[in-house]
A and B are shown apart, each in its own frame.
Chain A
Amino acid sequence: MLAFQIDKTIDARGMACPGPLMNLIGAIRQGQVGQVFEVLSSDEGSKTDIPAWVAKAKHELVNVVQDHGFVRFFVRKVR
């Protein structure tokens, strides 16, 4: 079980780099502080891009879970 609630899921599976990251950025801009966004990505670049952007933009990478053929990134909007 997850210890947090997901406010929005972004299914970016099949999108090429940097599509999943750009979708996350767009969703976070429109979201509220405290909300958790889940991004599903099969793009290999997301594994490095999403953590790098989250750190730079000072949000919180709550969890990263490897699934079958894709990765789930959980990001909390901090500011």
Chain B
Amino acid sequence: MQEQDKPLSLVLFSGTDDKLTAASVLAIGAAAMGRPVNIFLQYYALDAFRTGTLHDDHKLSPEATDDQAPAIKAHPGQHWSELLRQAKDVGVVDIQACALSMDMFDLKREDLDRLVDGIEGVAAFMASASEGQVVFI
């Protein structure tokens, strides 16, 4: 396996629009370059993938200053959910909900948007990550 063909595995923890967008940009870039992408949704990121809520205002992370917020909100870039759809279209992108977080928030499979491919445990996610990097966002 070539170095650059190793999977990129993203753990999405934060559920704010800026971090979800940053993670989606990494996903689409890796997918376009031919790397398999595994995404594991935990905590607040998982909450952002509930059916019908993807386009809600998920606020910005605490790093965003009052001066930066208007620029981020006004930027014409595509919504993170659209970036993920494109990433799936152009490459191999598997999005899994963390079983622990599902349990914590009492979520069922049908509560999640169709972008989510399934529910898995952390060991299965690590097995998918194999020798590739794991990035926590």
User: Which residues in A have some Cβ–Cβ distance to B below 8 Å?
Assistant: 14, 16-19, 21-22, 25-26, 49, 52-53, 56-57
Contacts and interface: CB of A to CB of B under 8 A. Distances in A.
B11 interface: no
* B: contact size bracket: 10 to 19
B77 interface: yes
A56 B4 CA distance: 10
A22 B33 contact: no
Contact of A22 (B4, B28, B76): B28
Given A53-B33, A56-B33, A56-B34, A22 B90 contact: yes
A25 B31 CA distance: 11
Contacts of A25: 32, 90
Contacts of B29: 18, 49
Given A22-B86, A25-B90, A16 B78 contact: yes
13 contacts: A16-B75, A16-B78, A17-B25, A18-B25, A18-B28, A18-B32, A21-B32, A22-B32, A22-B90, A52-B33, A56-B4, A56-B33, A57-B34
A38 to B, nearest CB: 19
Interface of B: 4, 25, 28-29, 32-34, 75-78, 86, 90
A53 B30 CA distance: 10
Contacts of A53: 32-33
B86 A16 contact: no
Nearest to A55: B33
A35 B18 CA distance: 38
